[in-house]
Amino acid sequence: MQLTLEFGGGLELLCDSVKIHNVSVEPQDGEQKLTMKYLLSWVRTNLIKERPEMFMKGDTVRPGVLVLVNDTDWELSGQLDTVLEEKDVIVFISTLHGG
């Protein structure tokens, strides 16, 4: 499944300073659908190059990371249970900034 992942607000620094990633991710073995829960695990393993604790806490994103799926807050679509579809755009933005 082709997805576009975008990182902003400083999160791109965890991915070798690359903001936009066009990726191919297949559902977990035995699953028919790709969920955000599996995608986050995939991102941690395949894209995050350093300090994964700045992106994730447990099996979800850290507090202060805004997640948009096709420009809609993922809290409106089920968060970790959100089912992704071909060509979806997922944006991760850190709302926490140093001063």
pLDDT, position 76: 94
**Per-residue confidence (pLDDT) for residue 69, from 0 to 100:** 97
- Other beta carbons within 10 angstroms of residue 52's beta carbon come to 15
- pLDDT given for residue 99 in this prediction: 52
How far is residue 76's CA from residue 48's CA, in Å, rounded to a whole number?
26
What phi and psi, each to the nearest 5 degrees, are found at residue 52?
Answer: -60, -20
With tokens 């755009």, the residue in question is 89
Digitized pLDDT (tens) for each residue of the chain, 99 residues in all: 999 999 999 999 999 999 999 999 998 888 889 999 999 999 999 999 989 888 999 999 999 999 999 999 999 999 999 999 999 999 999 998 655
27-40 in b/e burial notation, b at 16+ Cβ within 10 A?
Answer: eeeeeeebbbbbbb
Which pTM was predicted?
A: 0.92
Tokens standing for residue 93: 């933005």
